[in-house]
């Protein structure tokens, strides 16, 4: 029944995604490989396809494009949400978008039906997967060439949906699809039995951290003179939504852009525009680091993104020789993201992330909770903690992030959230780097911790971290 529902859903949506890549799908075991290739138009000798082959050998189960074959656009699979633990009403919001197939190393589409394997070894008990994730995909780093990638897929009954060489992971990252409904935790355990797989993770979902839908008081609260503020020529990467680069606040600010999900239409530009503007905006909505150069990677739509898309954006950011990466999003712990962050930090980049807006009892938010990432919580104009902020030992620093005026996709807006507190910290760090370009990421982190204004219990605490950012004191700090 589940398979019929998928095919029916795909048929209904096929007209919507006319431009997406498509392959004919058939389960007829009597077709030859040439007939299947002709159905999919993949044979090099397309002109040699006989009418019988093009029409499935006259079998009613596989017609040509005009004769009833079911075409499944690549984006169809992206529309299915995580399966509920027990029957629940259908979700009211669409599932988050996933990454497009990489153009750097495109993987061929499956050439025919995939038979679910039997008797596979489990190297470990089926893994319990926490957090939100794409229900029919896994991310795997593979030691070997494209042949090894395909052999693993064939052995385990998986689809190679994308593969590329990741700079920050230092190896090939493969996005495998699970076409037969096996749980992600089971597939991860099966993959662990193959020595060519190095890391195996769910394709986790991450969410932007905006809690609310005029002069920026942040300058005063972080002890930064707005007339002296400058991040001139400091290169900062921002991984976020699309932006309105025609907004006057971003004039001359955006040095480069990258779309990590080009096949997903941009509908919202507010969050990314606000983050960029708070960091380096110009004019009436001046940012904390005017003159900084923003390298903006669009990796979110509808407030959501997947691990695969975010890793693609991070790799692009690393290639831009940036000094700071701003990550105003939160999701579950994922070893691939942790490795990418660790390697980015080893390359000298300062990583700044939102602590999260999910409340005092929420689990740790990542990437903020990884070592080497500056986790930022949000405070208001009176240095009070934003009530919905995450808490925990990973919180590193506090910064203004409640009811601030910022640029947006509609001009300007009042914004609240740890996303925007993270942007304030990224801009402040750009000031430090502008003043002392040789200052290392470790030195900057130590200076921020040593000079923060203590707001909670003495010393570092789970609410405010080390305390409120004091950029004047941090600039004067000596090792």
Residues 385 and 456 in one domain: yes
- 320 located within any domain: yes
Q: Write down the pLDDT at residue 411.
A: 86
- 128 located within any domain: yes
Residue 468, CB-side half-sphere exposure with 13 Å CA sphere: 23
Reported as type and span, the H/E element at residue 350 is: strand 350-354
Is the pLDDT at 80 greater than 80? The verdict is no
Q: Write down the pLDDT at residue 115.
A: 55
Residue 48, classed as helix, strand or coil, is helix
- 105 located within any domain: yes
Residues 318 and 453 in one domain: yes
Q: Distance (Å, rounded) from C-alpha 215 to C-alpha 156?
A: 58
Residue 432, CB-side half-sphere exposure with 13 Å CA sphere: 31
Which tops the pLDDT comparison, 367 or 44? 367
Reported as type and span, the H/E element at residue 136 is: strand 133-142
Q: Distance (Å, rounded) from C-alpha 439 to C-alpha 471?
A: 14
Q: Distance (Å, rounded) from C-alpha 379 to C-alpha 421?
A: 8
DSSP assignment string, 396-422: -EEEE-SSEEEEETTEEEEEBSHHHHH
Residues 325 and 183 in one domain: no
CA distances from 315 to 57, 242, 275, 309, 357 (A): 47, 18, 20, 10, 26
Residue 311, CB-side half-sphere exposure with 13 Å CA sphere: 38
- 52 located within any domain: no
Residues 241 and 198 in one domain: no
- 76 located within any domain: no
Q: Which residue has the tokens 């950011």?
A: 317
Task: Give tens-digit pLDDT for 347-358.
Answer: 999 999 999 999
Q: What is the CATH number of the domain that holds 324?
A: 3.40.50.200
Average pLDDT score over residue span 457-465 = 95
Q: Write down the pLDDT at residue 477.
A: 87
Which among 134, 168, 203 is the end of a domain?
A: 203
DSSP state of 375: E
Q: Write down the pLDDT at residue 128.
A: 87
DSSP assignment string, 246-279: TSGGGTTTEEEEEES-TTS-----HHHHHHHHHH
Q: Distance (Å, rounded) from C-alpha 423 to C-alpha 308?
A: 23
Model confidence at 125, pLDDT cuts 50, 70, 90, reads: confident
Q: What percent of the chain has pLDDT over 70?
A: 73
Model confidence at 298, pLDDT cuts 50, 70, 90, reads: very high
Q: Write down the pLDDT at residue 101.
A: 38
Average pLDDT score over residue span 120-124 = 68
Average pLDDT score over residue span 288-307 = 96
Q: Write down the pLDDT at residue 8.
A: 38
Task: Give tens-digit pLDDT for 397-442.
Answer: 999 999 898 988 878 888 999 999 999 999 999 999 999 999 999 9
Residues 312 and 291 in one domain: yes
**What is the pTM for the complete model shown?**
0.68
Model confidence at 215, pLDDT cuts 50, 70, 90, reads: very low
Pairing outcome for strands 24-25 and 70-71: antiparallel
Q: What is the mean pLDDT of the chain?
A: 80
Average pLDDT score over residue span 27-51 = 45
Residues 187 and 281 in one domain: no
Q: Write down the pLDDT at residue 41.
A: 44
Is the pLDDT at 42 greater than 50? The verdict is no
Which among 144, 177, 203 is the end of a domain?
A: 203
Which tops the pLDDT comparison, 151 or 12? 151
Residues 394 and 465 in one domain: yes
Which among 178, 203, 228 is the end of a domain?
A: 203
Which tops the pLDDT comparison, 454 or 216? 454
Q: How many domains does the chain have?
A: 2
Q: Write down the pLDDT at residue 321.
A: 95
Residues 367 and 236 in one domain: yes
Which tops the pLDDT comparison, 121 or 104? 121
Q: Write down the pLDDT at residue 435.
A: 95
Q: Distance (Å, rounded) from C-alpha 195 to C-alpha 193?
A: 6
The lowest-confidence range among 48-57, 161-170, 384-393 is 48-57
Please, is 27 exposed, middle or buried when counting C-beta atoms within 10 Å of its C-beta (0-12, 13-18, 19+)? Answer: exposed
Task: Give tens-digit pLDDT for 171-187.
Answer: 999 999 999 999 999 99
Q: Write down the pLDDT at residue 409.
A: 82
Pairing outcome for strands 373-379 and 329-330: unpaired
Residue 447, classed as helix, strand or coil, is helix
H helix runs in 304-350, sequence order: 307-319, 335-346
Q: Write down the pLDDT at residue 387.
A: 96
Q: Distance (Å, rounded) from C-alpha 331 to C-alpha 305?
A: 10
Q: Write down the pLDDT at residue 398.
A: 98
Which tops the pLDDT comparison, 300 or 91? 300
Residues 367 and 465 in one domain: yes
Model confidence at 64, pLDDT cuts 50, 70, 90, reads: very low
Q: Write down the pLDDT at residue 449.
A: 97
Residues 297 and 189 in one domain: no
- 300 located within any domain: yes
Task: Give tens-digit pLDDT for 230-284.
Answer: 999 999 999 999 999 999 999 999 999 999 999 999 999 999 999 999 999 999 8
Average pLDDT score over residue span 13-19 = 37
Instruction: Say if residues 338 and 361 touch (Cβ distance below 8 Å).
Output: no
Q: Write down the pLDDT at residue 204.
A: 96
Average pLDDT score over residue span 178-202 = 94
Give the chain's count of helices (H) and strands (E).
Answer: 12, 17
- 36 located within any domain: no
Model confidence at 60, pLDDT cuts 50, 70, 90, reads: very low
Residues 448 and 336 in one domain: yes
- 18 located within any domain: no
Tell me which long-range contacts 362-366 makes (C-beta under 8 A, separation of at least 24). Answer: 362/390, 362/391, 363/130, 363/332, 364/333, 364/390, 364/392, 364/394, 365/209, 365/330, 365/331, 365/390, 365/394, 366/330, 366/331, 366/332, 366/333, 366/334, 366/337, 366/338
Pairing outcome for strands 159-166 and 254-259: unpaired
Model confidence at 365, pLDDT cuts 50, 70, 90, reads: very high
- ∠313-310-364 over CA atoms, to 5°? 135
- ∠331-335-338 over CA atoms, to 5°? 75
- Residue 472's domain spans which residues? 209-476
Q: Write down the pLDDT at residue 208.
A: 84
Average pLDDT score over residue span 41-47 = 42
Is the pLDDT at 30 greater than 90? The verdict is no
Pairing outcome for strands 404-408 and 159-166: unpaired
């Amino acid at each position: 029944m589940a398979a019929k529902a998928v095919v029916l859903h795909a048929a209904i949506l096929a007209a919507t995604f006319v431009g997406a890549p498509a392959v004919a799908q058939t389960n007829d075991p009597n077709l030859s490989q040439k007939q299947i290739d002709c159905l999919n138009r993949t044979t090099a000798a397309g002109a040699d396809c006989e009418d019988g082959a093009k029409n499935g050998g006259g079998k009613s189960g596989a017609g040509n494009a005009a004769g009833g074959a079911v075409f499944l656009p690549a984006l169809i699979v992206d529309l299915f949400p995580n399966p509920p633990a027990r029957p629940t009403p259908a979700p009211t919001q669409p599932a988050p978008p996933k990454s497009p197939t990489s153009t750097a190393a495109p993987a061929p589409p499956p050439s025919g039906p995939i038979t679910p394997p039997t008797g596979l070894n489990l190297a470990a008990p089926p893994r319990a997967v926490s957090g939100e994730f794409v229900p029919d995909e896994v991310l795997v780093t593979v030691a070997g060439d494209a042949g090894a990638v395909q052999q693993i897929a064939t052995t385990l009954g998986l689809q190679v949906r994308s593969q590329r060489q990741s700079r920050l992971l230092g190896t090939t990252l493969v996005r495998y699809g699970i076409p037969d409904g096996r749980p992600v935790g089971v597939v991860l355990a099966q993959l662990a039995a193959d020595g060519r797989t190095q890391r195996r993770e769910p394709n986790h979902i991450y969410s932007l951290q905006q809690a609310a839908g005029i002069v920026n008081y942040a300058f005063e609260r972080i002890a930064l003179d707005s007339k002296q503020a400058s991040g001139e020529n400091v290169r900062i990467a921002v991984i976020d939504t699309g932006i309105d680069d025609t907004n006057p606040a971003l004039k001359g600010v955006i040095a480069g852009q990258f779309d990590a999900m080009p096949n997903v239409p941009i509908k919202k530009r507010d969050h990314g525009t606000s983050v960029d503007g708070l960091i380096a905006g110009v004019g009436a909505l001046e940012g904390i680091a005017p003159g900084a150069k923003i390298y903006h990677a669009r990796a979110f739509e509808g407030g959501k993104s997947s691990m695969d898309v975010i890793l693609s954006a991070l790799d692009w950011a690393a290639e831009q020789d940036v000094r700071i990466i701003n990550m105003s999003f939160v999701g579950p712990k994922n070893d691939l993201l942790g490795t990418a962050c660790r390697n980015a930090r080893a390359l000298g980049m300062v990583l700044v992330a939102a602590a999260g807006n999910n409340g005092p009892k929420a689990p740790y938010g990542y990437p903020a909770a990884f070592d080497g990432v500056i986790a930022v919580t949000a405070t208001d104009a009176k240095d009070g903690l934003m009530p919905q902020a995450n808490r925990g030992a990973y919180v590193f620093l506090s910064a203004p992030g409640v009811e601030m005026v910022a640029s947006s996709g509609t001009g300007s807006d009042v914004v609240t959230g740890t996303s925007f507190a993270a942007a304030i910290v990224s801009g402040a760090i750009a000031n430090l780097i502008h003043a002392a370009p040789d200052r290392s990421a470790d030195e900057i982190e130590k200076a921020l911790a040593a000079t923060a204004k203590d707001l909670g219990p003495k010393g570092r605490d789970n609410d405010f971290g080390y305390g409120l950012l004091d950029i004047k004191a941090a600039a004067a700090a000596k090792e």
